[in-house]
Amino acid sequence: MSQSLHPMLNIAITAARAAGAIINRGSRELDLLTVKHKGLNDFASEVDEAAESVIIETVLGAYPGHGILAEESGRTHGSKDSEFTWIIDPLDGTTNFLHGFPVYCVSIALAHRGVVQQAVVYDPTRNDLFYASRGRGAFLNDSRLRVSKRIRLADALIGTGFPFRKGDSFQRYMKLFETVMQSCAGVRRPGAAALDLCYVAAGWYDGFFETGLNAWDVAAGSLIITEAGGLVGNFTGDSDFLHQREVVAGSPKIYGQLVTLLAPHTRVIKADETPAPGSLAAAVAVASSDAVLDALAASLAGEATAPPDRALADAPADAPAQAPARVRKPVRIRKIEAPAGEPAPTREGFRSPDRRDARSPQRDFQRDGQRGHDRGPGGPGHGPARPSTRGPIKPRPKGQGTGD
C-alpha cells in the first residue's frame, strides 16, 4: 500500500489477513469441519472460532487495554471499561462459506466512545481489502472508493438480506421487499451484509437495506460507505443504526428516496423509552406501521369521546370543584310592528330626541362652519365672515406709525 495508514488500521489489516488465511484453508476441507447450531439457520464452525481467536490475539497483543465485542465470544475478552472497542465479525456469511458459495468476509471495526474510527472488510476469496480511516477516505486495495452517481431510484440496483433467524418477521420483510422492488431497477441478496455495504461504497450497488443485523455486521461497512461519500442510517434516516437492527445505506440521492419508502416500516425505539407490556408504545415495537396508526387513531378517538363521568374519575381527588359552564341560549330578536294605518318606523325614527341637544356647542359650531365653508358665495375657502369683536376702525393720524 502506497499511502500511510493509521497504526490502529494497520493492526486491523494484519488481523483480517490472518483470519482470511484460516478461512481459505478451511474452505478446502468443508466436509471435515465441525458445525454448531446457534439457532434456527444460524451456524458457527470451528473456522469462525479460530478466525476470531487470531483476530483477538493480534488486537490485544498491540492494545491490551482495549475492549472487544465479537460475534462468537461477546465481551469476554479485553477491557470492560475502555473507551476503545474493537467490533469483530470473524466470518460474515457463514452459511455461504459452509456451502462453498464464495461470498463471505472478515469484518473488523474500531470504535472510540461509540463512534467508528477505523474499518476493515477483507474478502479472502478475491483478496479484496476494503478499509477506511475517519476523515481519510475509503479504499479498495490501493484504489479510492466513491459511491455511484445515480440519482433516480428507478435506475438503481439495491442490495438486501433476507430474514432467517427465529423471531424475524417474514411478513414484514415481504412488505419492504415489495415496496422497494417496485421502485428500483433490481434487488440482489448475496448473503454477507458487510460485503454488501462495501459494494455500496464501491458504487456497485446504489443502495442497501436490511433488518435483523447486529453491530458487528454493519460497523466496519458503515464507515467505509461514509468515507466514500455515501450515507448510512436507520429506516427513519437517523444515525442511530448500530444497535437498532435495521440499516439503510446508499449514495445521497438514492439514500433519501429509500428512507422515504422504508420509514413507515421502522421499528426504532428510543433509548429512553421503556414501554410497559400491553401499552401502545409496546405495540409499536412489535406491530407494523399500519397497525400502529390504526391503534393510535382508535386511542385518540376514545379519549375525545370519553364520557364526563370518566373525566371526573381521572381528575385528582384534591382538585378544586369547578363551576358548571354557562350555557349560552340562542337570542331571539323580536320585530316591532307598526299600528294599522301608520308608516313603519325608520332608522331615524329611533333616534333620541335629545341626541342633538346632548352634543357640545363646539361640535355644532365646527359642523356649521364646515357647511358654510363648502357653500359660501366665494366657493370653497370663502365662507361667511366671522363677526368682528374689535369695534369700528378709527383713522390713524398722520405722522404716527409710518414714515409719512
> Residues with Cβ < 8 Å from 223, sequence gap 6 or more?
109, 116, 117, 118, 119, 132, 134, 138
The C-alpha atoms of residue 202 and residue 220 are separated, in whole angstroms, by 14
The C-alpha atoms of residue 78 and residue 220 are separated, in whole angstroms, by 19
For residue 348, tell me if it sits in a domain: no
DSSP state of 323: P
How does DSSP assign 237-280, residue by residue?
Answer: S-S--TTTTEEEEESHHHHHHHHHHHGGG-----TT--PPTTSH
Calculate mean pLDDT across residues 268-285.
42
Examine the pLDDT at 200 and tell me if it is beyond 50.
Answer: yes
Which domain range does residue 205 map to?
7-265
For residue 313, tell me if it sits in a domain: no
* pLDDT score recorded for residue 109: 98
The C-alpha atoms of residue 197 and residue 193 are separated, in whole angstroms, by 6
Examine the pLDDT at 369 and tell me if it is beyond 90.
Answer: no
How confident is the model over 32-66, as pLDDT tens digits? 887 776 655 556 788 999 999 999 999 999 999 99
Examine the pLDDT at 372 and tell me if it is beyond 50.
Answer: no
For residue 53, tell me if it sits in a domain: yes
* pLDDT score recorded for residue 199: 98
For residue 21, tell me if it sits in a domain: yes
Examine the pLDDT at 79 and tell me if it is beyond 60.
Answer: yes
* pLDDT score recorded for residue 72: 87
Residue 137 zone, left/alpha/beta (φ > 0; ψ -120 to 50; rest): left
Calculate mean pLDDT across residues 8-28.
97
What is the DSSP pairing of strand 231-233 with strand 157-160?
A: unpaired
SS3 37: strand
- Closest by CA to 39, choosing from 161, 163, 159, is 163
Angle at 75 between CA 74 and CA 76, to 5 degrees: 100
What is the DSSP pairing of strand 128-133 with strand 115-123?
A: antiparallel
* pLDDT score recorded for residue 316: 45
Examine the pLDDT at 140 and tell me if it is beyond 70.
Answer: yes
**Minimum mean pLDDT among 95-104, 211-220, 236-245, 291-300: which range?**
291-300
Q: What is the CATH number of the domain that holds 138?
A: 3.30.540.10
How confident is the model over 242-253, as pLDDT tens digits? 888 899 999 999
Residue % of the chain over a pLDDT of 70: 62
Grid coordinates standing for 183? 421502485
The C-alpha atoms of residue 197 and residue 220 are separated, in whole angstroms, by 9
**Extended strands (E) in 219-378:** 231-233, 246-250
Task: For the beta carbon of residue 389, count every other beta carbon within 10 angstroms.
Answer: 5
* pLDDT score recorded for residue 167: 57
For residue 155, tell me if it sits in a domain: yes
For residue 102, tell me if it sits in a domain: yes
For residue 331, tell me if it sits in a domain: no
For residue 1, tell me if it sits in a domain: no
How confident is the model over 93-127, as pLDDT tens digits? 999 999 999 999 999 999 999 999 999 999 999 99
* pLDDT score recorded for residue 324: 54
- The larger pLDDT score, comparing residue 245 to residue 391, is at 245
**Sorting pLDDT into bands at 50, 70 and 90, what band is 230?**
very high
**Minimum mean pLDDT among 72-76, 145-149, 177-181, 347-351: which range?**
347-351
Q: How many folded domains does the chain comprise?
A: 1
Q: What is the pTM of this model?
A: 0.66
CB 265 within 8 A of CB 175: yes
